[in-house]
Structure 1
Amino acid sequence: MSTQHQIRLRIQTGDLDGLLGLGLNNLIQVLLIISLCRGVLGFPDRLLFGTILPATGISLLLGNLIYAQQARRLGQEEQRGDCTALPYGVNTVSLFAFVFLVMLPAKLAALDAGLSEAEAVQRSWQVGLMACLGSGVIETLGAFVAQHLRRWLPRAALLSTLAGIALGYIALGFLLRTYAHPLVCLTSLSVILLGYLARVRWPLPTGLLALLLGMVLAWGSGLITPDAASWTQAARVVGVHLPSLQLSALWQSRFDLIPWLGVIVPMGLFNLIGSLQNLESAAAAGDAYPTRGSLLVDGCGTLTAAALGSCFPTTLYIGHPGFKALGARSAYSWMNGVVMAVGCLFGLFGVVTVLIPVEAGLAILLYIGLAMASQAFASTPERHGPAVVLGMLPGLAGWGALMLKAGIRAGGAAGDPQLFGPQLLTQLATADIWAAGVFALEQGQIITAMLLSAWLVYAIEGRFLAAACCSAMAALLAWFGVIHAWQFSPGDTVMHLGWGTGQAWAEGYAAITVIVLLARWRQQTHH
């Protein structure tokens, strides 16, 4: 066998391994989209399989094709055959943030306003489209200034905010579900943690083994017992679902951009900076791709998703060096795009959800949450640790508010429908649960986390003027109700925008600003 043939064979094997790893990751994201859209948002299969997933499939196909071509071009320019395409797929954190912080509140607000279930679902989807579009615009425009943004934003502020969402909405949320189904979920979780963190070499790739083991245990233990109705529902969505432009839906939701900027802008920045960091990781592994062009592809992938009807942004995945070590080159990328697009365009994932319960993939998602939280500490200076912890707290409070309100709704389903009112705060305070603070942290939680963490980073470094700017900005945003200000609705607590609606919190941040400036004055007088 010639050396050239051996190299070609090794590349093919590596691409298959890379396809397995990236495809499994994308599969979990799609199963998650189906689970959250059906279970949390109540989206009908017609919208989910007829519009959202086809748009998701096209966005994955286009991005993967371009990144595969980019790897081939780099290999030709540098006269080498070991260039690995950038891994790419649906952004996990944005998926959770948009579902729980944008689309679910929008649906509940619509129901409170008297809209029907179908109208509320339509509004929730349209608001999600606008959020995805906004994120795509930020990612696309940010490709031209990404390096400047990264120098301006403290790493602790970025990573701790992501970690708060990851710990609450991903890690804690799925940990509860794990302990609700311990045999299936704990078994697959042990395989994931031992394989990824303890470096145990399993006979199959770690993610695949955990998924297969979870499936076997789920079927064997009776966790899933699909009946004829489940198979009929899955078979009903199989068919050709071609996406179409959703410009009318985007236009109808044009006024929904401003109320959700507190989620859209930070998530767009996170996607942008995260993709930039992953490009740097690829360069360190030997594949130096052009920054602006690579980021533009990512941004355009998100814009394509929104234009065709998906609410979920795309991103560059972490782990390029790992795929390179597997021997994956360019083919794994385009093959992944084709596989995911076929599954989305032909409605095949409806059948997959019957065969593979989401519990079988929970371990991978839980690991992602743990990895993101630990990265916030590992990638920041040790003395910034308190700032990382502080930045995590608003996200955890937001998740706690979600759990609290869901429990109240469930408990009052057969009783008094007017559960959300001042009496709720009094009743919970007697149990030492300060719901007013939880609801305040819930509103604008992502911006709050960034500003608090950045404030403490600057204070630790003795940059008191920069810290004062952070607290002054928080005071301004709180005054207009962008963060913290909230009010009761018939079935929820919602943002309260307006002049002076967040006066109490604005006064608190203003006091912080004065104290920081006094600290700066003392620092200068003692030098």
Structure 2
Amino acid sequence: MRPFVRGDVDGFFGLALDNLVQLLLIDALCRSPYILGFSDELVRGTILPGAAISLVVGNIFYARQALKLARETGRDDVCALPYGINTVSLFAHVFLVMLPAKLAAEAAGAADPARVAWQAGLLACLGSGMIELGGSFVAEKLRRITPRAALLSTLAGIALGFISLGFLFRTFAHPIVGLSTLAVVLLVYFGRVKFKGGLPGGFVAVAVGTALAWAIGLAPAGEAPTGSAGLMLPVPVIGDVLAALSEPGMLAAYFAVIVPMGLFNVVGSLQNLESAEAAGDGFPVVPSLAVNGGGSIVAALFGSCFPTTIYIGHPGWKAMGARAGYSVLNAVFVTIVCLTGTLAWITWVVPVDAGMAIVLWIGVVITAQAFQVTPKAHAPAVVIGILPGVAAWGAVMAKNGLRAAGMGNPDRPFEEGLVAAFQGSDTWIDGAFALEQGFIFTAMILATATVLIIERKFTVAGLWLLAAAVLSAVGLMHGYRWTMGDTVLDVFAPWDHPDRLGWALGYLAMAAVLFLAPSVTEPDDAAHGP
């Protein structure tokens, strides 16, 4: 397999756009005076260069891994695993670790609250990476006992809600750009044609989208950036990492965020590996996940507070024709953007709208794959596995709507009374908030249990539901608490929150039904069909 092929250009545009969005979020959330208020020097001189190091490590490894698999199998269609900054962890570390650390430091009269917040973020990133690294040695066992329908349907729920529907909204909000670029993407990748002259479809979509965005006034975004770009090399920040580790009570304060996010990253990366294997590229679990965790550790040691992950979307990049080169191109792109201060200029010239059709298409491909590569009889389990992810996205949309209406601030904080207000319109928002927390676990367990029920392995299905009861009892699934402008995961001991054991008891009841099923039921294929 050649290191670079034409399809790598298409894959690069999609993956680079995804990584660019994460970098924009980091820049905006960290520098905002209303959130973290970090200095330009800290963000653009330390955090972004640290993020670049972590992204280069992973992208180069996964590109080499793809080339190695191609040599071993004699194939020329192996696609490298996509890799980048974890969006869920990004928000969790900002709003559940660094912002509380900053507020606590301000209340305690600390001389530099922003630095305290940054060090707390480094600790969270380091802890997440260590959990991912350790999890790599047990993940294969989990993969062997989990049906493909469960692993892929969980990803499909994320793809359908957080990727496809989100970008579909934006497509129809700016239809001239959105629908034109969508037509290009559908034509090339579903119509299986190519542009004369060998122009990559992804390049054409972004070029057309950029031109139309400038023509109708979507670009440029605001005033031209000020200030000159300059080289900012990454520097180790081991002293700050050690300071965070030695700070009394800091690890304990954010343990309830670090552990769940680390576990979510392990499971999510495992699902992405299964998705890649379903598309024909079987990569070894231990090194793949170990490097994933190692990337997060490297990020923390060089100043970035944000873990990395194996991205969702491998089947889509592969269908575009991407192989190993798109990963290398992404590493080069991210390095240039993060080390030269050109991030603001790129986003000023090329709006997100120009490439959103590519990301929308990726979400469609992932959702379709969940049905295409699983047994036909398991289709109901795929649907069951999709629902929690879509529900979690709906909960996020509901909270965004409340914040847009002026809630989520000191004058109008989120509180328990919202539940009754929603129920007045027959919207059971407390169920949506509960589904949002730990939805990756919920989707995987429910889909697995459904597959086992379809195969009449009732006792094994009951054991999976016992696991769901345990996860619910300790708060890794469903348990949430109110903050000023959000509902967030609340890891708790069951004896401290007996009122929250309803989910655990519900799963225990489901398990009891399945344990009893062999003795109180008999096959009825004639009534229900094959």
Q: TM-score range by the shorter chain?
A: 0.7 to 0.9
Aligned to 2:527: none
Aligned to 1:201: 194
Deviation at 1:314, TM superposition (A): 3.8
- The size of the alignment, in residue pairs, is 501
Aligned ranges for residues 444-455 of structure 1 at < 5 Å?
444-455=438-449
**Equivalent of 2:216 in 210, 213, 221:** 221
Q: TM-score, normalised by structure 1?
A: 0.81
The 1-side partners of 2:394 and 2:117 are apart by: 22
Gaps spanning 5+ residues in structure 1: where? Answer: 1-9
Q: Secondary structure at the match of 1:231?
A: coil
Given residue 403 of structure 2, which amino acid in structure 1 is its aligned partner? R
Aligned to 1:158: 151
Aligned to 1:376: 370
The 2-side partners of 1:298 and 1:160 are apart by: 22
Give the 3 Å change call, closer, same or farther, for CA 433–299 of structure 1 in structure 2: same
Aligned ranges for residues 495-510 of structure 1 at < 5 Å?
495-496=489-490, 497-498=492-493, 499=495, 500-510=498-508
Given residue 483 of structure 2, which amino acid in structure 1 is its aligned partner? S
The 2-side partners of 1:215 and 1:172 are apart by: 22
Give deviations 1:450-500, integer Å, cap 9, x for gaps. 222222122111111121112222222223333223333333323342322
Given residue 513 of structure 1, which amino acid in structure 2 is its aligned partner? A
Q: Secondary structure at the match of 1:365?
A: helix
Aligned to 1:254: 251
The 1-side partners of 2:408 and 2:295 are apart by: 45
- Aligned-pair identity in percent equals 36
**Equivalent of 2:88 in 93, 97, 110:** 97
Given residue 503 of structure 1, which amino acid in structure 2 is its aligned partner? L
Q: Secondary structure at the match of 1:409?
A: helix
Aligned to 1:315: 310
Give the 3 Å change call, closer, same or farther, for CA 178–468 of structure 1 in structure 2: same
Give deviations 1:135-168, integer Å, cap 9, x for gaps. 5445534544554332112222222222222222
Given residue 406 of structure 2, which amino acid in structure 1 is its aligned partner? G
Aligned to 1:50: 45
**Equivalent of 2:435 in 421, 432, 441:** 441
Aligned to 2:276: 278
Give the 3 Å change call, closer, same or farther, for CA 458–184 of structure 1 in structure 2: same
Aligned ranges for residues 303-382 of structure 1 at < 5 Å?
303-308=297-302, 309-315=304-310, 318=314, 322=318, 334=328, 336-382=330-376
Given residue 234 of structure 2, which amino acid in structure 1 is its aligned partner? L
Given residue 218 of structure 1, which amino acid in structure 2 is its aligned partner? A
Give the 3 Å change call, closer, same or farther, for CA 508–146 of structure 1 in structure 2: closer
Give the 3 Å change call, closer, same or farther, for CA 365–130 of structure 1 in structure 2: farther
Given residue 208 of structure 1, which amino acid in structure 2 is its aligned partner? F
Q: TM-score, normalised by structure 2?
A: 0.80
Give the 3 Å change call, closer, same or farther, for CA 273–168 of structure 1 in structure 2: closer
Verify the 8 A CA contact 1:143 1:292 in the aligned structure 2. yes
Give deviations 1:273-298, integer Å, cap 9, x for gaps. 523653685668xxxx7665455444
The 2-side partners of 1:392 and 1:290 are apart by: 26
Deviation at 1:211, TM superposition (A): 0.7
1:244 counterpart = 2:236: yes
Give the 3 Å change call, closer, same or farther, for CA 415–389 of structure 1 in structure 2: same
Verify the 8 A CA contact 2:126 2:297 in the aligned structure 1. yes
Aligned to 1:187: 180
Deviation at 1:302, TM superposition (A): 3.8
1:167 counterpart = 2:160: yes
Give the 3 Å change call, closer, same or farther, for CA 304–31 of structure 1 in structure 2: same
Deviation at 1:55, TM superposition (A): 2.4
Aligned to 2:528: none
The 2-side partners of 1:155 and 1:470 are apart by: 15
Give the 3 Å change call, closer, same or farther, for CA 257–432 of structure 1 in structure 2: same
Verify the 8 A CA contact 1:451 1:470 in the aligned structure 2. yes
Give the 3 Å change call, closer, same or farther, for CA 486–40 of structure 1 in structure 2: same
Q: Secondary structure at the match of 1:21?
A: helix
Aligned to 2:519: 521
Gaps spanning 5+ residues in structure 2: where? Answer: 525-530
The 1-side partners of 2:121 and 2:266 are apart by: 14
Given residue 163 of structure 1, which amino acid in structure 2 is its aligned partner? A
Give the 3 Å change call, closer, same or farther, for CA 320–34 of structure 1 in structure 2: closer
The 1-side partners of 2:379 and 2:78 are apart by: 34
Q: Report the structure, 1 or 2, having the larger helix content.
A: 1
> What is the RMSD computed on CA atoms of the aligned residues?
3.9
The 2-side partners of 1:15 and 1:525 are apart by: 55
Aligned to 2:20: 31
